[in-house]
Amino acid sequence: MDKSIEFTEQSIGTRLDDIQASLESFTYRLQYENLQWPTVLDNFALIAGQMSMLNNHLRNEKLPQLHNLILLPLTISQETDSNLQEITKNRIQTFDHEIVPDYLRTKPEPEVERDQKELAEKADMLSEGEKEKEVTDANVLIDDLIEIINNARTAWNIHDLFD
């Protein structure tokens, strides 16, 4: 079992590294280059594809059941940990009492949990007709957004032809 968990961790780590590299590259290009809209869409599609592949990989039945495992910190220290800095690429310097609850949280934060509960209660109070109307309104809005995006894409493509 340890070998399969180790292999899974490496596989997930590789996919996460790919996603991180794509995000960093895209962010850099957004900051320092003048990107055309089709290029932006291509980057979003790449990142969405990578996220989808990671999600499919995590749902794979051949993977060990990681959600049944418990993660416990071996040490909690106020001192800077160079190994932790290296592993997290300097995002986390110490693994202390302030960070542990956030990084090892298994439930949403209380405010988020409360908001989700309120939304669920509000949705339960709606009649079927009201729910259908909300879905229809959302679909109309989405269709309008798709039309706006497609028109912008067409305009960009026409603009690119004349440049």
DSSP secondary structure of 108-158: --HHHHHHHHHHHHHHHHS-HHHHHHHHHHHHHHHHHHHHHHHHHHHHHHH
Q: How far apart are CA 22 and CA 77, in angstroms?
A: 33
pLDDT at 1 over 70: no
Q: Are 76 and 94 in contact (CB under 8 A)?
A: no
**Residue 89 resides in a domain:** no
Does 45 fall in a domain?
A: yes
What pLDDT score was predicted for residue 69? 76
**How many Å from the N-terminal Cα to the C-terminal Cα in the chain?**
59
Residue-range definition of the domain harbouring residue 57: 1-69
- Global confidence as pTM: 0.53
User: Does 101 map to a domain?
Assistant: no
Q: How far apart are CA 163 and CA 120, in angstroms?
A: 51
- pLDDT single digits (tens) 102-120: 888 777 888 999 999 999 9
The reported pLDDT for the residue numbered 161 is 64
Coil, strand or helix at 36: coil
CATH of the domain at 16: 1.20.58
pLDDT tens track for 124-148? 999 999 999 999 999 999 999 999 9
Query: 3: which 2 tokens?
Result: 């070998």
User: Six-digit token pair at 104?
Assistant: 């090892």
Is 19 inside any structural domain?
A: yes
Query: What span, in angstroms and rounded, lies between the C-alpha atoms of 124 and 127?
Result: 8
- Cα dist from 118 to 59, 124, 137, 145, whole Å: 29, 10, 21, 28
Domain assignment present for residue 139? The answer is no
Please report whether residue 79 resides in a domain: no
- 92 located within any domain: no
Q: Is residue 159 part of a domain?
A: no
Total of domains in the chain: 1
